[in-house]
């Protein structure tokens, strides 16, 4: 399974692609961030993010997309930018018919580090260890995008198999 993880942000939108499966080693395909300048109008910034995500979807052809779920913070301007970038990611994936999963920050931290309250340094260190990298990806948005992709491979892949088995069982019952 190949997953594109997206850590949405208006200034830095992290993108990371991993490949692998549950119980198998994961492999880093690529990681980077799409950057936009705070001096530009928000609409132009969102177009830049959309173009960046579209380019990654076209180049890496993931099987699924994992996006960080936006959560409430005290700074509403940060929430708005993150939510807008998240919406762009969701639309870009949906346009291609790709399955999209939203993972909370604490779910991602728990999946990669075993601690739902891990700090950025711990998450980065575990991403580096899981993907057998010499150092954590920089900036933290890049490491977070990879952590999202890892979480989805480990959790989303299993959930997809459960849902497929349930659908097959329901179909078998209805055909009797």
Told to judge if 141 belongs to the known catalytic residues of this protein, a careful annotator would answer: yes
Mean pLDDT over residues 22-27, rounded? 92
What would the pLDDT profile of 44-97 be if each residue is shown by its tens digit? Answer: 999 999 999 999 999 999 999 999 998 766 667 678 889 999 999 999 999 999
Q: What is the pLDDT of residue 165?
A: 61
| Tokens, residue 174 | 């209805």
Task: Measure CA of the first residue to CA of the last residue in the chain; give whole Å.
Answer: 33
Q: What percent of the chain has pLDDT over 70?
A: 90
Task: Check if the beta carbon of residue 50 is closer than 8 Å to that of residue 142.
Answer: no
Q: What percent of the chain has pLDDT over 90?
A: 80
86 exposure class (CB count in 10 Å sphere: 0-12, 13-18, 19+): buried
**Residue tagged 């990681």 (tokens):** 31
* Active site (annotated) includes residue 119: no
Strands 64-68 and 27-35: unpaired
User: Does the annotation place 63 within a ligand binding site?
Assistant: no
**CB 33, CB 26: distance < 8 Å:** no
Q: Catalytic: 7?
A: yes
Taken in order of first residue, the domains within the chain and their CATH numbers are 2-174 (3.30.420.10)
Say yes or no to pLDDT of 158 above 60.
no
Write phi, then psi, for 139 (nearest 5 degrees): -70, 180
CA distance 43 to 75: 20
- The answer to whether 68 is annotated as binding is yes
Q: What is the pLDDT of residues 91-126, one digit of tens each?
A: 999 999 999 999 999 999 999 999 999 999 999 999
pLDDT at 175: 80
């Amino acid at each position: 399974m190949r997953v594109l993880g997206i850590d949405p942000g208006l200034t830095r939108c992290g993108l990371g692609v991993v490949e692998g499966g549950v119980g198998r080693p994961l492999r880093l395909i690529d990681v980077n961030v799409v950057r936009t300048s705070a001096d530009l109008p928000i609409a132009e910034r969102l177009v830049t993010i959309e173009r960046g995500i579209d380019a990654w979807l076209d180049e890496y052809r993931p099987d699924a997309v994992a996006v960080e779920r936006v959560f409430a913070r005290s700074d509403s301007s940060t929430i708005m930018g993150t939510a807008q970038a998240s919406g762009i990611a969701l639309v870009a994936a949906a346009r291609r018919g790709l399955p999209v999963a939203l993972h909370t920050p604490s779910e991602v931290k728990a999946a990669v580090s075993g601690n739902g309250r891990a700090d950025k340094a711990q998450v980065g260190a575990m991403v580096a260890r899981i993907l057998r990298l010499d150092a954590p990806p920089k900036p933290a948005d890049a490491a977070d995008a990879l952590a999202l992709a890892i979480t989805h491979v480990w959790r989303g892949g299993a959930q997809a198999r459960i849902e497929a088995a349930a659908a097959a069982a329901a179909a078998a019952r209805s055909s009797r």
